[in-house]
């Protein structure tokens, strides 16, 4: 009888960049003879190894990561799993403190030494090809990480302290991975980095984002390319020309703006002011008609009084962002903000402002969604539910953006594209019927 493989359950917390790291780790462990699973609930087995890939970006994420570690520490102490291993951003920043508090963890690794983790478990150098991955998303879409690190050092953000300086992958390296993923059935690529605007500057002495996107778009089988996490200062305008010209580059841009009031932007060390921000947004919309902009805003950073907050509200009314998220400021250890400002805005004030901002955005989102009623849009189908097929348009990134619920009048296949007609709109969903 063939001996069953030992199971490694990799649990990923936080962002899609973490997910890519987990997928690469899983590929290496698979090649080393383990049976790898990606089960957030954790299929507990006495011989199982659990790897928790942590997030350390903001307070809520850190709390979630600690609670996940503690949950599995209890399983480890009871002998229901054989090993507990922790990696990722939280472990990178607080490894010594966490190790002292949670001795049940067998091994600790940082953000970027998952290759060492795989080698230690395999007791040999991992055999996976560069950037080979076990795709954990639906097989028709994947995240494509083109760089690691950040040079911006915004006052509120600990990412540069965790990931180090910005490091681009070469255009050739990224395109080679795209070809590998297309061969596995991936059609949609969500391009990610801490700061897309800096891509290529360390390798080529100038931004190469437009060159990279053009090269990815040339790969046969690439249907959609979507860009995430651009930085407004030093934005590479030439990528807009590629977006306007290439049919398989989605008319979508994720660009975190954080605020609009000049005193707050200055305190945040964002290297851009309100006037330049508005000019940038106007130019983006001029060059790429129909583009959907996703942004992230923050309430409660030091220097945000009621006047500055009302300026932020007016900015959202004026810009009518198609997609928007927001969060309340949480002071992060050793950041410029923690070292130079007093976090003196009460939590309830931050939350009140956040709630008001999101209530305003919900109303704007509904109005923008209603403009799509009667229009025909192209969707990719992600899954099937009892009454609907669930899909997304080019303007919808997985997990964070609205979905399209397509009524079941004809058979549809997951991972395929279809034209549908929008018949009803909700703030964060569209209802559609197939075009037959």
More confident residue, 14 or 215: 215
Cα dihedral 92, 93, 96, 102, rounded to 10, equals: -80
311-335: per-residue pLDDT in tens? 999 999 999 999 999 999 999 989 9
Say if residue 160's pLDDT is above 60. Answer: yes
**Secondary element (H or E) of residue 12:** strand 7-12
Tokens of 113: 């030494």
Question: Each residue of 50-71: b (16+ CB within 10 Å) or e?
Answer: bbbbbbbbbeebbeebbebbee
- The pLDDT assigned to 129 comes to 61
163-174: per-residue pLDDT in tens? 899 999 999 999
Angle at 217 between CA 212 and CA 220, to 5 degrees: 130
Judge residue 102's burial from the number of C-beta atoms within 10 Å of its C-beta, 0-12 exposed, 13-18 middle, 19 or more buried: middle
User: Minimum mean pLDDT among 31-40, 180-189, 383-392: which range?
Assistant: 31-40
Share of the chain above pLDDT 70, in %: 96
User: Minimum mean pLDDT among 159-163, 255-259, 355-359: which range?
Assistant: 159-163
The angle, 0 to 180 degrees and rounded to 10, between the axes of the packed helices 238-245 and 209-217 is 20
CA distance linking residue 300 with residue 350, whole number of Å: 5
User: Minimum mean pLDDT among 54-58, 78-82, 174-178, 190-194: which range?
Assistant: 54-58
- The pLDDT assigned to 4 comes to 61
- The pLDDT assigned to 14 comes to 82
User: Minimum mean pLDDT among 61-65, 212-216, 383-387: which range?
Assistant: 61-65
pTM for the model stands at 0.92
Residue 39: pLDDT band (50, 70, 90) is: confident
Residue 1: pLDDT band (50, 70, 90) is: very low
Distances (CA, A) of 425 to 179, 321, 403: 37, 17, 11
- The pLDDT assigned to 436 comes to 83
Say if residue 43's pLDDT is above 70. Answer: no
- The pLDDT assigned to 420 comes to 98
Residue 202: pLDDT band (50, 70, 90) is: very high
Mean pLDDT (whole number) for 22-49: 82
- The pLDDT assigned to 44 comes to 61
More confident residue, 24 or 258: 258
Residue 64: pLDDT band (50, 70, 90) is: confident
Mean pLDDT (whole number) for 135-158: 94
- The pLDDT assigned to 127 comes to 59
Residue 38: pLDDT band (50, 70, 90) is: confident
Mean pLDDT (whole number) for 46-68: 84
The β-bridge relationship of strands 147-148 and 167-168 is antiparallel
CA distance linking residue 24 with residue 129, whole number of Å: 10
- The pLDDT assigned to 3 comes to 45
Say if residue 241's pLDDT is above 80. Answer: yes
């Amino acid at each position: 009888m063939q001996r069953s493989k030992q199971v490694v359950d990799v649990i990923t917390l936080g962002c899609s960049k973490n997910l890519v790291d987990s997928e690469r780790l899983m590929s290496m462990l698979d090649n080393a003879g383990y049976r790898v699973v990606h089960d957030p609930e954790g299929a507990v087995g006495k011989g199982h190894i659990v790897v928790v890939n942590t997030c350390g970006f903001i307070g809520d994420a850190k709390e979630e990561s600690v609670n996940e570690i503690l949950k599995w520490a209890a399983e480890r102490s009871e002998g229901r799993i054989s090993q507990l291993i922790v990696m990722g951003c939280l472990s990178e920043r607080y490894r010594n403190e966490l190790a002292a508090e949670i001795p049940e963890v067998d091994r600790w690794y940082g953000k970027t030494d998952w290759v060492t983790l795989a080698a230690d478990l395999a007791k040999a150098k991992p055999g996976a090809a560069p950037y080979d991955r076990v795709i954990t998303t639906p097989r028709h879409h994947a995240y494509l990480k083109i760089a690691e690190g950040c040079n911006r050092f915004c006052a509120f953000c600990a990412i540069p302290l965790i990931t180090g300086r910005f490091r681009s992958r070469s255009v050739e390296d990224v395109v080679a991975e795209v070809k590998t993923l297309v061969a596995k059935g991936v059609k949609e690529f969500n391009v990610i980095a801490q700061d897309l605007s800096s891509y290529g500057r360390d390798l080529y002495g100038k931004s190469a984002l437009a060159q990279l996107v053009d090269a990815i778009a040339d790969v046969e089988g690439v249907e959609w390319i979507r860009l995430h996490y651009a930085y407004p200062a030093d934005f590479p305008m030439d990528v807009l020309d590629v977006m306007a010209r290439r049919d398989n580059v989605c008319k979508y841009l994720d660009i975190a703006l954080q605020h609009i009031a000049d005193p707050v932007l200055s305190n945040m060390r964002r290297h851009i002011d309100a006037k330049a921000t508005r000019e940038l947004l106007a130019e983006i919309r001029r060059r790429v008609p129909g583009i959907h902009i996703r942004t992230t805003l923050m309430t409660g950073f030091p220097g945000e009084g009621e006047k500055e907050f009302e300026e932020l509200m007016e900015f959202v009314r004026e810009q009518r962002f198609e997609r928007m998220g927001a969060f309340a400021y949480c002071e992060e250890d050793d950041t410029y903000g923690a070292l130079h400002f007093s976090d003196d805005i009460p939590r309830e004030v931050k939350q009140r402002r956040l709630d008001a901002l999101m209530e305003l955005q919900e109303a704007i989102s509904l109005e923008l969604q209603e403009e799509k009623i009667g229009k025909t849009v192209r969707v990719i189908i992600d899954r099937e539910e009892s009454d609907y097929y669930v899909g997304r348009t080019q303007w919808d990134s997985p997990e964070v953006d609205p979905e399209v619920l397509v009524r079941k009048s004809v058979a549809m296949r997951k991972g395929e594209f279809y034209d549908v007609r929008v018949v009803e709109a909700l703030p964060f969903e569209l209802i559609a019927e197939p075009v037959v």
